[in-house]
Structure 1
Amino acid sequence: MGAPETGTACGSGRRQRPLQKFPGPRLLLSGRNETTWSSSALRLRRDVCPLSASLSLKPASAYTAKLQAFHTSPPAFKKKIPADSEAESQKSQESLKDSPKPALYLSLGGLVPFVAVPLAMALQGTYCPQLASAQVAYGAATASFLGGMRWGFALPENSPAKPDWLNLANGTVPPLLACQALLFKDATQGAAMLTLALGIALHYDISLLPTYPRWFKVLRVLGTAVMVLSLLATIALKAYLGGEQSDDKNKAEHKLINQ
C-alpha cells in the first residue's frame, strides 16, 4: 500500500509541477507580449505624432501666413499709392521747370494770338467776325504744325518712332481737319473743327504713338488746354454778344422805318 501512495504522491507531484511550470512561461510570454505591445504602441505614437503634428501645423502655418499677407498687404499698398502720386506730381513739376527755355517761351508766345481774340472782344463788348476768322486761321496753321511735327520726329534714324503707316498717316489727320475748318463760312463751325483737330493731335502725342520727352508732353497738355478754351470762349462770345448786336440792329432799323 505504501508504493501506490508514493506513486500517487509522485503522480500528484508530477501533476503539480506542470501546474507550477506553465504559469511561469505564460506569465513571461504575457509579459513579453505586454512589453512588445507597449513598445510597438510607443513606436506608433512616435511615428504618428510627428505626422499629425506636421499635418496639423503646416496648414496652420500656411493659413497664418496667408492671413498675415492678407492683413498686411493692403495697408502697404494703400501707403504706396500716395507716395507714387506725390512722386509723379513732383516729376511733372520738375519736368516743366527743367524744360528748355526757348521751347517754354516760344510755346507761351504762340498762345498769345489765341487768348488775345476773345479777350479783345470781351473788353470791347462786341463780337468781331474778322478777329474770329483770324483766330481760326491761326489755329489751322498750329494744328498743321503739330501734325507735321510727327513726321519730323519719326524720320531720324535713331528716333523711337518708326516712319510707318501709323505715325505718318496720323500726322496728316490734324492738317486735313484744319483745312476743313478753313472751308466753313461760319467761324464757330471752324472753331469747333479746330478743337477736334487739336484734341486728336494731343491724343496722338501723349498716349497712342511713341511719346516725346516728358517736358514736351506737359507743354503740349497746357498749350492744348489754352487753345481749346480760347476757341470755346470765342464761340460763347459770339452766341452772347452776337445776339445783342442783332437785337440792336433790329431796333435801329425799326427806328429808321418809323422816322
Structure 2
Amino acid sequence: MFPLIQRCCFHTSFKLPKCTGPRLLLYGKNKTVWSSLSLHLQRDVCPLSRSPSLNPASIYATKLQAFHTSLPFFKKKTPKESETKDAGVLQQSMKSLKDSPKPALYVSLAGLIPFVSVPLSMAIQGTYYPELAFAQFTYGAVTVSFLGGMRWGYALPEDSPAKPDWLNLANSTVPPLLAWQALLFKDVTQGAIMLVIGLGIALHYDVSLLPDYPRWFKVLRVVGTVVMVLSLLATATLKIILEEQLSNSRNKRQNTK
C-alpha cells in the first residue's frame, strides 16, 4: 500500500502490478473487485497529489513550523500586561490603605509631619538650621526605637503566632541599638544613614518576617518608611548644599574686602 501512495503523491503513473501464476489463480474470482478498488484509489488519492499544499516541500515546512513553535510560558509578557499588573497592585495597595482604621491612618500621617517639615522649611528659606536638623534626627531615633519595640508587643500575647523566643525578642532590640548608635555621631549625615538602616530593618521585620499583620498595616508601614527615609536624606543633602553655598558666599565677601 505504501508504494502505491508514494507513486500517486509524487506524480508517477499509477500501474497495477501484474498478477501472474498462482496469484492470478488465487485472485481470479475477485479480479473485478480488485480492479475497481485500484481505480477508486487512483481517482481519490492522485488528485490530492496535485494540490500544492501537500507537496514534499510544504509538508517539510509545516513540520518545521510545528517544531519551532514556542510554548506559551516561554513567551515574553507584553508591556500592556506588565502595566496592567502594576496598576492592579497599586490599586490594591491604595484600597488597602483606605480600608485601614481611621485612628491608625491619621496618627501615622501626623507622625510624619516632623520629618517632612524640617527639610521643607530649609528648602523654602534657603538656610540650613542645625537645631532643626538635630530635632529631626532625635525624633527619627525615637521612631526607630518605637518600631523595633513593636515586635515585643506582637510576641508577648499567648495566642500570638510569634513566640517570645530568643529570635523575636533579640531582633526587636536591633533597631533601638542602631538608633542609639546614630545619636553618637556628631555629623548629621552619618547619623541619618544609620537611621535609614534601622528603618529598613524594622520594615523588613514587619513586612516579611511577620506575615500575620493585616495588609493595610503593611502598606501603611511601607508608605511611612519611604517618607521618613526621603526626609532624612533630604535634610542631609540640604546640609551639604546650603553649607557649601554659605561658605562660598563668605569667601566672596572676604575677597571683595
TM bucket normalised to smaller: 0.5 to 0.7
TM-score (norm 1): 0.65
Distance 1:241 1:166, change over 3 A: same
**Alpha-carbon distance, 1:232 to partner:** 0.6
**Alpha-carbon distance, 1:120 to partner:** 0.7
- State whether residues 205 and 211 of structure 1, in contact with CA within 8 Å, keep that contact through their aligned partners in structure 2: no
Q: Helix, strand or coil for the counterpart of 2:213? A: coil
In the other structure, the counterpart of 2:208 is 207
Distance between the aligned counterparts of 2:213 and 2:109, measured in 1? 18
TM-score (norm 2): 0.66
Distance 1:190 1:85, change over 3 A: closer
In the other structure, the counterpart of 2:132 is 131
Tell which structure's C-alpha radius of gyration is larger.
Answer: 1
**Alpha-carbon distance, 1:195 to partner:** 0.6
Distance between the aligned counterparts of 2:166 and 2:110, measured in 1? 33
Distance between the aligned counterparts of 2:159 and 2:75, measured in 1? 41
Listed one character per residue, the Cα deviations across residues 45-102 of structure 1 (whole Å, up to 9, x for unaligned) are xxxxxxxxxxxxxxxxxxxxxx9xx9886499979x8787666544323211110000
The aligned runs of 1:90-239 (5 Å cut-off) are: 90-239=91-240
Deviates more, 1:135-144 or 1:246-255: 246-255
**Alpha-carbon distance, 1:244 to partner:** 1.0
AA in 1 matched with 2:117: A
**Alpha-carbon distance, 1:160 to partner:** 1.8
Distance between the aligned counterparts of 1:235 and 1:76, measured in 2? 45
Deviates more, 1:220-229 or 1:200-209: 200-209
Aligned positions, number = 196
Listed one character per residue, the Cα deviations across residues 166-220 of structure 1 (whole Å, up to 9, x for unaligned) are 2111110000000011111111111111011101111111113444211000000
Distance 1:252 1:99, change over 3 A: same
**Alpha-carbon distance, 1:251 to partner:** 4.0
Q: Indicate the structure with greater helix content.
A: 1
Which 4+ runs in 1 deviate beyond 2 A? 70-79, 81-94, 208-211, 247-255
- Aligned-residue RMSD, C-alpha: 3.3
Distance between the aligned counterparts of 1:159 and 1:91, measured in 2? 27
Q: Which runs of 5+ in 1 are unaligned?
A: 1-33, 35-66
Distance between the aligned counterparts of 1:124 and 1:250, measured in 2? 21
Distance 1:230 1:87, change over 3 A: closer
User: Percent identical across equivalent pairs?
Assistant: 65
In the other structure, the counterpart of 1:41 is none
